Amino acid sequence: MRILGMMMVFIACSGIGITYSYIYKKRVEQLCEWKKGIVLLKNEINYSLTPLPEAFEIIGRKLEGVMNRFFDEIAALLKTNNNKTMSSLDEKVIKKLLIDSCLNEKDRKTIISFIKNLGLLDKESQMNNLELHINYIQQEIDAAKKDEEKNNKLFKTLGILSGIFIIVIFI
């Protein structure tokens, strides 16, 4: 019984540590996926002049995971209610779509403000906006990669060691 308890504590602590390190890894992946989506959107607007709801739908098909669903849902939201504009989309609804992503609060706010500013002026200004956002996301990806390198091993080790620590204390 005692050994079982120890095992459970150890597994739980290691699990928490591994989950935390996994979040950092996933954040980099999701930011890369978001950047890919934005580059595709830029191409769609620049070369095909696709309207935003269709562009989002097309891009959604090309992406994976959370971003795939995010683009699809935004496209669906735009298509309902007689082609809403981007700025009229509800912030809370967009936030809800990102709820199971590993992005942090700052990333979410950036994505929401970007989404809301889409389709406001002419093509040229949209291109500039997209370019600016891509540069910003690239910076965020670089920072997230550094964070991942630093924290990935740390959280794994911390989880396992704290598990052993608790076991030793209660032994």
Partner 1 sequence: MDISIIFKIAAVGILISVLNQVLDRAGREEQAMLTTLAGLVVVLFWVIHYISDLFTEVQQLFQL
Residue 62 or 150: the one with the smaller Cβ distance to partner 1 is 150
**Residues of span 95-154 touching partner 1 by CB under 8 A:** 150-151, 153-154
Nearest to 168 by CA among 6, 5, 4: 6
Site membership for partner 1, residue 164 (CB under 8 A): yes
Residue type, 61: R
For the CB of residue 49, give the shortest distance to partner 1 in the complex, in Å.
48
Question: By C-beta, is 21 or 30 nearer to partner 1?
Answer: 21
Give the contacts of 41 (CB within 8 A, at least 6 positions apart). Answer: 55, 56, 59, 130
Residue 88 or 165 having the CB closest to partner 1: 165
Which residues touch 135 (CB under 8 Å, ≥6 apart)?
Answer: none
Residue 62 or 153 with smaller CB distance to partner 1? 153
Nearest to 112 by CA among 170, 60, 34: 34
Q: Which residues contact 16 (CB under 8 A, 6 or more apart)?
A: 159
- Provide the minimum distance between the beta carbon of 146 and partner 1 in the complex, in angstroms, as a whole number: 11
Residues at the contact surface with partner 1, assessed by CB under 8 A? 150-151, 153-154, 157-158, 161-162, 164-165, 168-169, 171
